[in-house]
Amino acid sequence: MAEVQYDVIVVGAGHAGVEAALASARLGVKTLVVTTNLQRIAYMSCNPSIGGLAKGHMVREIDVLGGEMGFVADETCIQYKRLNSSKGPAVRGTRVQNDKDKYSARMTEILKNQANLSLLGGEVKRLILDGNICRGIVLQDGSEIRSKAVVVTTGTFMNGVMHMGLEQTAGGRVGDQASIGLSDQLGEFGFTVQRLKTGTPARLHRDSIDWSQTEPQYGDEKIFPFSFRSELPLKLPQVACYLSRTTAETHEIIRNNLHLSPMYCGLIEGSGPRYCPSIEDKVVRFADRDSHQTFLEPEGLDTDLIYLQGISTSLPLDVQDRFLRTIPGLEKVKVARYGYAVEYDYIEPTQIWHRLETRTIAKLFLAGQINGTSGYEEAAAQGFVAGVNAAHSILEREEFILNRDEAYIGVLIDDLVTKGTREPYRMFTSRAEHRLILREDNTLDRLAKRAEALGLMPTERLNLLVSLKEERASLRRELSEKRLFPTPETQARVQNVGTTALLKPVTFEELLRRPEIQFEHLNELGFEMKATPSVSESVEIDVKYAGYVRRQMELIEQSKRVEDLVLPSDMDFKEIRGLSSEEVQKLKTVRPRTLGQAQRISGVNPSAIQAIMIYLKANRSSQEDVRVRNPGSSVEN
pLDDT at 276: 84
Residues 443 and 376 in one domain: yes
User: Residue 633: pLDDT band by 50, 70, 90 thresholds?
Assistant: very low
Q: Is residue 45 part of a domain?
A: yes
Give the percent of the chain with pLDDT over 90. 78
The number of folded domains in the chain is 4
Residues 353 and 487 in one domain: no
Residue 28 pLDDT: 97
Residues 6+ apart with CB under 8 A from 409: 58, 61, 62, 381, 384, 385, 402
User: Residue 337 — very low, low, confident or very high, per pLDDT cuts 50/70/90?
Assistant: very high
pLDDT, mean over the chain: 92
Cβ 52 vs Cβ 95: under 8 Å: yes
Last residue of a domain, one of 552, 582, 598: 552
Average pLDDT over residues 291-313: 97
Inside any domain, residue 212: yes
Mean pLDDT of 55-60: 98
What is the predicted pLDDT for the residue at 632? 43
The CATH number covering residue 589 comes to 1.10.150.570
Give tens-digit pLDDT for 5-50. Answer: 999 999 999 999 999 999 999 999 999 999 999 999 999 999 999 9
Q: Are residues 208 and 178 in the same domain?
A: no
CB 459, CB 115: distance < 8 Å? no
Residues 131 and 178 in one domain: yes
Question: How far is the C-alpha of 41 from the C-alpha of 106, rounded, in Å?
Answer: 9
- Over residues 57-85, the mean pLDDT reads 97
User: If you average pLDDT over residues 559-575, what whole number do you get?
Assistant: 84
Residue 622 banded pLDDT, cuts 50, 70, 90: low
Assign 368 a pLDDT band (cuts: 50, 70, 90): very high
CB–CB of 446/90 below 8 Å? no
Query: CATH number for the domain including 420?
Result: 3.50.50.60
Say whether both 243 and 294 belong to one domain: yes
Q: Among residues 258, 298, 303, which one has the least CA distance to residue 279?
A: 258
CATH of the domain at 309: 2.40.30.260
User: Which residues have a Cβ under 8 Å from the Cβ of 571 and sit 6 or more positions away?
Assistant: none
Question: Is the distance from CB of 370 to CB of 154 less than 8 angstroms?
Answer: yes
* CA neighbor of 139 nearest in space, from 131, 150, 148: 150
Q: What are 432-437's contacts with CB under 8 Å, separation 24+? A: 432/54, 432/404, 432/408, 433/404, 434/404, 434/405, 434/552, 434/556, 435/90, 435/91, 436/90, 436/545, 436/548, 436/549, 436/552, 437/405, 437/549, 437/552, 437/553, 437/556
DSSP 362: B
Confidence bin at 629 (pLDDT 50/70/90) = very low
Lowest mean pLDDT among 116-120, 198-202, 232-236, 553-557: 553-557
Which of 279, 316, 343, 322 is CA-nearest to residue 164?
316
List the one residue out of 16, 186, 42 whose CA is nearest residue 110: 42
Q: How confident is the model at residue 531 (pLDDT cuts 50, 70, 90)?
A: confident
pLDDT band for position 596 (cuts 50, 70, 90):
confident
Q: Tens of pLDDT along 375-397?
A: 999 999 999 999 999 999 999 99
Same domain? For 544 and 486 the reply is: yes
Q: In this structure, is residue 637 part of a structural domain?
A: no
pLDDT at 195: 95
DSSP per residue over 454-480, as a string?
Answer: HT-S-HHHHHHHHHHHHHHHHHHHHHH
**In 10 A of CB 141, how many CB atoms?**
8
Question: Is 204 in contact with 66 (CB distance < 8 Å)?
Answer: no
Q: Determine, yes or no, domain membership for 115.
A: yes
Q: Is residue 634 part of a domain?
A: no
349 lies in the same domain as 309: no
DSSP string, 14-46: SHHHHHHHHHHHHTT--EEEEES-TT-TT--SS
What's the rounded mean pLDDT across residues 319-346?
97
- What is the dihedral sign for C-alpha 57, 60, 66, 71? positive
Q: Cis omega (within 30 of 0) on the bond before 505?
A: no
User: Are residues 502 and 577 part of one domain?
Assistant: no
Q: Give the domain range for residue 617.
A: 565-629
Coil vs helix vs strand at 517: coil
**442/545 same-domain check:** no
Q: Is pLDDT at 480 greater than 50 in this prediction?
A: yes
Q: Among residues 318, 341, 364, which one ends one of the domains?
A: 341
Q: How many residues make up the chain in this entry?
A: 637
Q: Are 534 and 583 part of one and the same domain?
A: no
Q: Assess if residue 464 is contained within a domain.
A: no
Q: What is the pLDDT of residue 1?
A: 52
- Residue 65 belongs to a domain: yes
Residue 460 is assigned to a structural domain of this protein: no
Burial class (CB in 10 A: 0-12, 13-18, 19+), 78: buried
Residue 414's SS3 state is helix
Instruction: Identify the three-state secondary structure at position 439.
Output: coil
Determine contact, residues 165/316, Cβ cutoff 8 Å. yes
610 shares a domain with 577? yes
pLDDT (average), residues 115-141: 96
pLDDT for residue 627 is more than 80 = no
Lowest mean pLDDT of 90-104, 115-129, 355-369, 548-562, name the range: 548-562
Last residue of a domain, one of 283, 309, 341: 341
Binned at pLDDT 50, 70 and 90, residue 610 comes out as: confident
**Strand runs labelled E in 479-585:** 483-484, 506-507
**Residue 477 is part of a domain; what is its CATH number?**
1.10.10.1800
**Does residue 254 share a domain with residue 108?**
no
